[in-house]
Amino acid sequence: MTRPALVAAERRPTRQIHIGDVAIGGGAPISVQSMTTTKTADVDATLSQIYALAAAGADIVRCTCNEQEAAEGLAHIIPRSPVPIVADIHFHHEMALAALEAGVQGLRLNPGNLRKEAEIKQVAAEARDRGVPIRIGVNAGSLHPELYKRFGGATPEALVESARTELAYFEEVGFDDVKISVKASSVPLMIAAYRLASETFDHPLHLGVTEAGPPPGGLIKGTAGIATLLAEGIGDTIRYSLTADPVEEARAGRQLLEALGLRERKGLDLIACPSCGRAEIDVIGVAREVQQALQERNLPIQVAVMGCVVNGPGEAREADLGIAAGRHRGHLFIKGKIVRVVPEAEMVDALVHEAERLVAEGIEARLAAADAGAEAEAEADRRALFEAKGADANQAGQKVELIRRTVADG
């Protein structure tokens, strides 16, 4: 319901490919990817995880295809999947061919692991004939030894050269339905490699900080790399690589794109003040309670939880809905306008109830249904608290007077 934010730079123009019905590059919305952690041969467990990932915001899901049983599992999974499936291939080109037979909508090849030119060309030719795109998935941790030696390590130039070499093999068999990734676990290396790749190729780029680790550190590293590049207009599809339930990857990817204004809001965006001496409630506890209640309902709105009524509604006036605490009461506001004052014990329930009605009826209708006298009642609370501790909570006036005296005496 909120207007999307403006991203710092225009998107880098790229070719467009399609993974199933999901367009990538060429101005298409940036897509979110994740990868299952189940054994692909376990069809039911893998499908269960795929559905959970799709519900959390994944547009594309990757499954490992490392053995015949996995390829056979894919044949059962793909027709029942709610999103396109990409097969992850590392060492055996036969598994890529088997995955194509299973009907996958995309392949990911690691050029550092699958190295024989003839085998790479065979896979590319088969993918070409079936109209299946391939991601050239370069990884700093599995770079070809010759490139590592030639460039003196896993440098941005080495990563891009790995992708360029693979792309040349593809071109020899007339295949260019490609996207590229040049991942590293080092955020600065990852950023530098993708910047170079964006200057070198016009193929869509898949962004990620590989092996980022568990949250919260993994989320911070992933966001630092992915968001930096997206803000520069680089990147067409993303994946967080977390040591965690992959649903967290999908959710983080979706939330990042929404925060940058690159995808329309699909879920809850909760904003809350960090709390201070003016707070009248346990902001952290209330925010956690609100987040849990509203996320369960999957409401696509921005909600604010503010610790006091002195500045809360004004500071969060752009939120669709919010609550601010004061004098043991909660001021419920929509787009900064007070619509209801409720007892403190009823704050969360009132907020959740209003959120559901807001989504069902719209902002204008709920503003029109505001309680008569709510604004005046809230203003009385604000004035009382402002007098008590809002006007000069940190003795700023006294300090200013002392500063003036000090300067005058000097």
Query: What CATH number has the domain bearing residue 45?
Result: 3.20.20.20
Residue 7 lies in a domain: no
Q: Report the pLDDT value the prediction gives residue 166, as an integer from 0 to 100.
A: 96
pLDDT band (50, 70, 90) for residue 137? very high
pLDDT over 50 (residue 94): yes
233 confidence band (pLDDT: 50, 70, 90): very high
Q: How far is the C-alpha of 349 from the C-alpha of 133, rounded, in Å?
A: 49
Whether residue 201 sits in one domain with residue 80: yes
Q: So what's the pLDDT on residue 1?
A: 45
Of 259, 281, 309, the position where a domain reaches its end is 259
Give the pLDDT score at 306: 81
Same domain (yes/no): 208, 305: no
Q: Is the pLDDT of residue 27 over 90?
A: yes
Q: Has residue 394 got a pLDDT over 60?
A: no
Indicate the residue among 259, 277, 304 that finishes a domain.
Answer: 259
Same-domain status, 83 and 147: yes
pLDDT at position 307, please?
75
B/e letters for 220-242, b = 16+ CB within 10 Å, e = fewer, are: ebbbbbbbbbbebebbbbbbbbb
- pLDDT for the residue 49: 96
Domain that includes residue 341, residue range: 269-390
As a whole number, mean pLDDT of residues 192-213 equals 97
**Residue 234 is encoded by which pair of tokens?**
């680089």
- The lowest-confidence range among 3-7, 9-13, 103-107 is 3-7
For residue 34, what pLDDT is reported? 97
Same structural domain, 72 and 154 = yes
Number of independent structural domains in the chain: 2
Same-domain status, 199 and 277:
no
Residues 242 and 273 in one domain: no
Tokens of 176: 């260019």
Q: Which pLDDT does position 311 carry in this prediction?
A: 60
* Within a domain: 121: yes
One domain for residues 251 and 276 = no
Residue 24 has pLDDT above 50, yes or no: yes
Backbone dihedral angles phi then psi of residue 84, each to the nearest 5 degrees? -60, 150
Give the Cα separation of 299 and 55 in Å (integer): 13
Host H or E run for residue 240: none
Is 103 contained in some domain? Answer: yes
pLDDT tens by residue, 260-297: 999 988 778 888 877 665 566 677 888 888 888 888 88
Could you give the angle at the alpha carbon of 180 between the alpha carbons of 177 and 183, nearest 5°?
Answer: 160
283 with 234, same domain: the answer is: no
Q: Provide the whole-model pTM.
A: 0.81
| Average pLDDT, rounded, for the chain | 89
| Nearest-angstrom CA–CA distance, 137 and 162 | 9
Q: 59 with 169, same domain?
A: yes
Query: Domain check: are 172 and 288 in the same one?
Result: no
The answer to whether residue 77 is domain-embedded is yes
Beta strands (DSSP E) in 36-120 are 60-64, 85-89, 106-109
What tens digit of pLDDT does each residue of 286-328 get? 888 888 888 888 788 888 888 775 665 666 677 899 888 776 7
Same domain, 190 and 100: yes
**Residue 377 forms part of a structural domain:** yes
- Beta pairing, strands 329-334 & 337-343: antiparallel
pLDDT over threshold 70, residue 149 = yes
- pLDDT bucket at 5, cuts 50 / 70 / 90: very low
β strands within 161-315, DSSP E: 178-183, 206-207, 237-238, 269-272, 302-306
Separation CA 116–CA 384 (nearest Å)? 77
pLDDT at 196 over 80: yes
Residue 401 lies in a domain: no
* End residue of a domain, out of 259, 283, 314: 259
Model pLDDT, residue 4: 46
**Among 348, 341, 395, which residue's Cα sits nearest to residue 372?**
341
Distance in angstroms (rounded) separating the CA atoms of residues 56 and 53? 5
Domain match, 281 and 253 both: no
Q: Give domain status of residue 193, yes or no.
A: yes
Band (pLDDT 50/70/90 cuts) for residue 8 is: low
Residue 83 lies in a domain: yes
Q: Which residues of 279-309 are buried (b: 16+ CB within 10 A; e: fewer)?
A: bbbebeebbebbeebbeeeebebbbbbbbbb
Query: From the centroid of its chain, how far is CA 95?
Result: 30
CA nearest to 338, candidates 361, 292, 304, 362 = 304
pLDDT value at 387 more than 90? no
Contacts of 49 (CB under 8 A, 6+ apart): 36, 37, 38, 246, 247
CATH code where residue 384 lies: 3.30.413.10
- The pLDDT of residue 100 is 97
Position of tokens 């002392």?
Answer: 402
For the chain, the distance separating the N- and C-terminal CA atoms, rounded to the nearest angstrom, is 55
pLDDT tier at 3, thresholds 50, 70, 90: very low
**Residue 185 contacts residue 141 (beta carbons within 8 Å):** yes
pLDDT in tens, 44-91: 999 999 999 998 999 999 999 999 999 999 999 999 999 999 999 988
What tokens appear for 251 in the block? Answer: 């959710």
